[in-house]
Amino acid sequence: MNSYYVYVYIDPRNFEEFYFGKGKGSRKNAHLSDTSDSEKAERIAAIHKAGLKPIIRVIARNLSEHDALLIEKTLLWKLGRQLTNVSPGHYSENFRPPDTMHLTLSGFDYQCGIYYYNVGEGTCRNWDDYKAFGFISAGQGVRWRDAMLGLEKGDVIAAYLKNHGFVGIGCITERAKPIREVIVNGKPLLSHPLRCANMADNAESDDLCEYVALVEWTAAVERNQAKWKSKAGLYTTTHVRASLDAQPDTIAFLEREFGVNMHELADSTNFQP
């Protein structure tokens, strides 16, 4: 039933809105008797101490609970820094994080994510294989498996090779899955002449096998042609995958060195599910 409403508390001393909520019936008055140590309760107490009462106004009425929650979240997002609400509200994942207007964010300003990917060469991984057969991988443990599963079809990756630099820019064309299930050029990946002979380690274990995501490389270079500039503040991490949303200098470097536009790649519909 459409019995919900969205309300606001206003400080009569300066007419500042300081709390948004949703409810029905007499819910909007419940905060007047709040004796907790929350910022909201302290502000209401200060208003009472001044011999005044908070101004309580209903902003929207005759709403479903779903609509009331969505309106509440919109108001919380818009005035977040001025409010005493502890919870960011429902639908947080649908709203841009506060204080990020100076950034371009995946899923908001362009369709897919832009990620740093750590090649992590070793007994089960080799950049030459990735470049030749169009894939990336990580695994041999749940932590690394889950990092690969966080990549979606259409995401843009910047591949980094330790002690060398960035070696490739590509788009995920197929989400990660156990290496035993991966087909490249019409036959199992493991049947190709891979330089890394140990990629089949633990192949039958969903927790311990290598997880492989297929990639279309927009640009890829040999390891001795890797792109790097010392003391330039370029982003690296030991993690398998990390967002580059907050790394504009690194993105600018990659775009310049590889001659690509990362955001245009992320906005491309060619690899959408």
Q: Identify whether 69 is part of a domain.
A: yes
Q: In this structure, what CATH number is given to the domain that contains residue 258?
A: 3.10.590
Q: Kindly state whether residues 66 and 140 are assigned to the same domain.
A: no
Q: Kindly state whether residues 83 and 120 are assigned to the same domain.
A: no
- Among residues 16, 24, 28, the alpha carbon closest in space to that of 68 is found at 24
Number of structural domains, the chain? 2
Where does the pLDDT of residue 85 fall: very low under 50, low under 70, confident under 90, or very high at 90 and above? low
- Please report the pLDDT score of residue 77 as a whole number: 79
Q: Kindly state whether residues 39 and 120 are assigned to the same domain.
A: no
Q: Identify whether 191 is part of a domain.
A: yes
Q: Kindly state whether residues 181 and 88 are assigned to the same domain.
A: no
Where does the pLDDT of residue 40 fall: very low under 50, low under 70, confident under 90, or very high at 90 and above? very high
Q: Identify whether 108 is part of a domain.
A: no
Q: Kindly state whether residues 8 and 74 are assigned to the same domain.
A: yes
Q: Kindly state whether residues 177 and 87 are assigned to the same domain.
A: no
Mean pLDDT of 223-236: 95
Task: Name which residue leads in pLDDT, 109 or 162.
Answer: 162
Where does the pLDDT of residue 264 fall: very low under 50, low under 70, confident under 90, or very high at 90 and above? confident
Where does the pLDDT of residue 91 fall: very low under 50, low under 70, confident under 90, or very high at 90 and above? low
Residue 241 pLDDT more than 50? yes
Q: Kindly state whether residues 147 and 242 are assigned to the same domain.
A: yes
Q: Identify whether 104 is part of a domain.
A: no
Q: Identify whether 179 is part of a domain.
A: yes
How does the average pLDDT of the chain come out, rounded? 89
Residue 130 pLDDT more than 70? yes
Q: Which stretch of 67-71, 76-80, 134-138 has the lowest confidence by average pLDDT?
A: 76-80
- Among residues 241, 128, 111, 220, the alpha carbon closest in space to that of 176 is found at 241
Q: Identify whether 105 is part of a domain.
A: no
Q: Which stretch of 101-115, 219-233, 248-262 has the lowest confidence by average pLDDT?
A: 101-115
Amino acid at 125: R
Q: Identify whether 102 is part of a domain.
A: no
Where does the pLDDT of residue 169 fall: very low under 50, low under 70, confident under 90, or very high at 90 and above? very high
Q: Kindly state whether residues 128 and 90 are assigned to the same domain.
A: no
Q: Kindly state whether residues 263 and 227 are assigned to the same domain.
A: yes
Instruction: Tell me the residue range of the domain where 237 lies.
Output: 114-267
- Please report the pLDDT score of residue 197 as a whole number: 83
Task: Name which residue leads in pLDDT, 75 or 223.
Answer: 223
Q: In this structure, what CATH number is given to the domain that contains residue 79?
A: 3.40.1440
Residue 91 — left, alpha, or beta (φ > 0 → left; ψ -120 to 50 → alpha)? left
pLDDT in tens, 175-198: 999 999 999 999 999 999 999 989
Residue with tokens 């969903």: 206
Q: Kindly state whether residues 43 and 88 are assigned to the same domain.
A: yes
Using CB atoms within 10 A of its CB, is residue 255 exposed (0-12), middle (13-18) or buried (19+)? middle
Q: Kindly state whether residues 242 and 124 are assigned to the same domain.
A: yes
Where does the pLDDT of residue 254 fall: very low under 50, low under 70, confident under 90, or very high at 90 and above? very high
Q: Identify whether 131 is part of a domain.
A: yes
- Please report the pLDDT score of residue 112 as a whole number: 86
- Please report the pLDDT score of residue 272 as a whole number: 46
- Please report the pLDDT score of residue 100 as a whole number: 72
Q: Kindly state whether residues 23 and 128 are assigned to the same domain.
A: no
Where does the pLDDT of residue 273 fall: very low under 50, low under 70, confident under 90, or very high at 90 and above? very low
